[in-house]
Chains A and B, each alone.
Chain A
Amino acid sequence: MDELDRRLINRLQLGLPLVPQPWQVLAAELGSSSQQLRERLQRLLDDGSLTRFGPMFDIERLGGAFTLAALTVPEARFEAVAATLAAMPEVAHNYRREHAWNMWFVLACASPEALDDALQRIHQRTGLAPLNLPKEETYHVGLYFSL
């Protein structure tokens, strides 16, 4: 990753202009060419540095139901429980954290009923009772990684 890659990522986190030829606008800003920027972006997507390029949908406006949940997983079973969750399409991402509640994951479902159902299935399949912590208030959403 070089300086142009970093500037491209930093700039794209702010959003691509909504015009017919957006890459021309960015090429002028970054002193590059439309073609070169697209090739760079494709490479960053291909090598896994980026996982998505496109509209950042407001998931709540799409009508889904979401929660952050946690499990206390015995160390010996950690990988197995992680695999059980990974196989469930409702599990959006899952992190090990240093805490007695050591597995933290986001559930994303089409409806509140589907969310309850997913939590119950996790309980049944793992024998572990999930801590269900749905968002009650949003104070700030402003994810930006400076590269």
Chain B
Amino acid sequence: MNRALDAGQSLALRRLLEAGLPLLARPYQHLAQQIGAEEQQVLAQVQQWQQHGLFRRLGLVLNHRALGYTANAMLVLDIPDALIDEVGQRLGREPQVSLCYQRPRRLPQWRYNLFCMVHGRQRERVEAQITALLERHLLSDLPYQILFSTQAFKQCGGRFAPASHGACPHG
């Protein structure tokens, strides 16, 4: 059994990981050298953080617009309060819906309380997917709007920002 990292090493490791994982054959060995620990200690700490849900996975943030995902729709719906959990869960299970959240209404300026992101390469196709989705779930008669993004001004920044988060792109 490896000794756990001390508090200072653990904090230093988290700071290093905020910058990303080094692109080396043995990344944890490299991180361990930087904080004066053993490779196995670092790996055990990273595994523990993942088990505890501090991060979901070691993965990627894509510049999805640069990679061709330029038709990115925010579908917003006005769902009766009594139905929103059920509808949110159903829409969230649809493969085209990448993010699905409840947000507050701000009457009179804003009536929509359910937000779904649908990312795609072609606007017409995304529109057709959303139309079919609404019909399948018998939602076509409820008030809704589709807000396509047309320009990205800033993608990810700031220490607490979703730069390190899988669910970054709203556009």
Contact = CB atoms under 8 A, between A and B. Distances in A.
Contacts of B53: 58, 61
Given A51-B62, A52-B164, A95 B88 contact: no
Given A13-B59, A106-B161, 15 more contacts: A16-B57, A20-B29, A51-B156, A68-B170, A91-B158, A92-B162, A95-B149, A98-B148, A104-B147, A109-B160, A133-B115, A135-B102, A139-B91, A143-B119, A143-B168
A75 interface: no
B4 interface: no
A12 B60 CA distance: 6
Contacts, number: 268
A31 B152 CA distance: 36
Contacts of B165: 56-59
Interface residues on B, range: 35 or more
Contacts of A57: 18, 54-55, 164-165
A15 B57 contact: yes
Nearest to B40: A20
Interface string A97-112: 1110100111011100
10 contacts: A20-B43, A49-B66, A50-B63, A61-B54, A89-B158, A92-B163, A93-B157, A98-B148, A140-B92, A141-B98
A89 B155 CA distance: 12
B67 A145 contact: yes
Interface string A1-37: 1000000010011111011111110000000001100
Interface string B23-49: 111111100000000011001001101
Interface string A112-144: 000000000000000000011111111111111
Contact of B25 (A23, A90, A109, A139): A23
B61 A98 contact: no
Nearest to A1: B67
Nearest 4 CB-CB pairings of A with B: A140-B92, A15-B57, A54-B20, A95-B171
Contact of B164 (A14, A55, A94, A139): A55
B99 interface: yes
B122 interface: no
B130 interface: no
Contact of B97 (A66, A85, A140): A140
B58 interface: yes
A9 B64 CA distance: 11
A131 B170 contact: no
A93 B101 contact: no
Nearest to A115: B160
A56 B152 CA distance: 21
Q: Which of A61, A97, A104 lies at the interface centre, i.e. has the most chain B CB atoms within 10 A of its CB?
A: A97
